[in-house]
Amino acid sequence: MKQGKKEKLKGETLLAVRKNPNLWINSLLLNPKGSNAEDFMSSKRGESVFLPRPDGAVLTIGPLEDTEYKDRPTVVNGWGKFYLPNITKMKVIGYVEGTSYPCDQLVLMTCEEKKVYGFDGEELHLVAFSLDQMFTKGIADPALQSYYYGEAFKDMSGIPNNVFYAQSEEDWEEVKQSPVGKIQKQRWVSV
């Protein structure tokens, strides 16, 4: 991009988002009906913003449908369930191009805790502690922390021996009463 266009993007879009990033995240996550989030995404959809770091990284604002994962619902469904220690509701805010992550589009999402995560096709990365940090300092490259698929289940201590071959009602009851069974019940009830 030409320098003039870069300055225009930074001057308008970045300034507006920097003024009140918390309003942005609240409009994305806290309205259960999604009308404000939908209004926001549609009004900013397709806008590009140069991030301060890494050099040359460009965020394109948009929903999941604008990313390369639009037709992969099982992958998207797993982002908030199978990577992080606790189930987390994620909302895609766009994607970044021009990073050293091993992907064309680092899909960015935010969560109830207001942290910003990026998915590179293999791992989920914590790239900023807030939208404000992302817009003022950029995204971490390398990541602040990375999570692999299945990491949510890495501490599987306390699993009954029959968890993988439970066949009778009694076997399943033992699995359900184990620490892991209780965690799984809590995960599925809270979704």
Tokens 């009694």 found at: 170
Long-range contacts of 62-70 (CB under 8 A, 24+ apart): 62/92, 62/93, 62/94, 62/95, 63/92, 64/92, 64/107, 66/94, 66/95, 67/92, 67/94, 67/95, 67/105, 67/107, 68/95, 68/104, 68/105, 68/107, 69/107, 69/119
- Residues in contact with 76: Cβ distance below 8 Å, sequence separation at least 6, in sequence order: 64, 69, 92
Confidence tier at 29 by pLDDT (50, 70, 90): very low
Peptide bond into 54 cis (omega under 30): yes
What secondary structure letter does DSSP report for 115?
-
- Residue 135 sits in the same domain as residue 169: no
pLDDT number for residue 186: 66
171 and 123 both lie in a single domain: no
Judgement on whether residues 15 and 104 belong to the same structural domain of the protein? yes
Question: Do 47 and 102 belong together in one domain?
Answer: yes
Could you report the per-residue pLDDT of 152-187, keeping only the tens digit for each? 777 655 555 444 544 567 766 776 777 767 766 666
According to the model, what pLDDT value does residue 31 have?
43
Residue 181 and residue 132 share a domain: no
Per-residue model confidence as pLDDT tens digits over 47-61: 888 898 999 899 998
pLDDT confidence of residue 168: 64
**Domain enclosing residue 170, as ranges:** 161-190
pLDDT band at 94 (very low <50, low <70, confident <90, very high): very high
Please give the tally of structural domains in the chain. Answer: 2
Whole-angstrom distance, CA of residue 163 vs CA of residue 177: 11
Looking at the fold, whether 124 and 167 belong to one and the same domain comes out as no
One domain, residues 118 and 186: no
Instruction: Give pLDDT tens digits for 79-92.
Output: 888 888 888 888 89
For 128, list phi and psi in degrees, rounded to 5: -160, 150
Question: pTM of the prediction?
Answer: 0.66
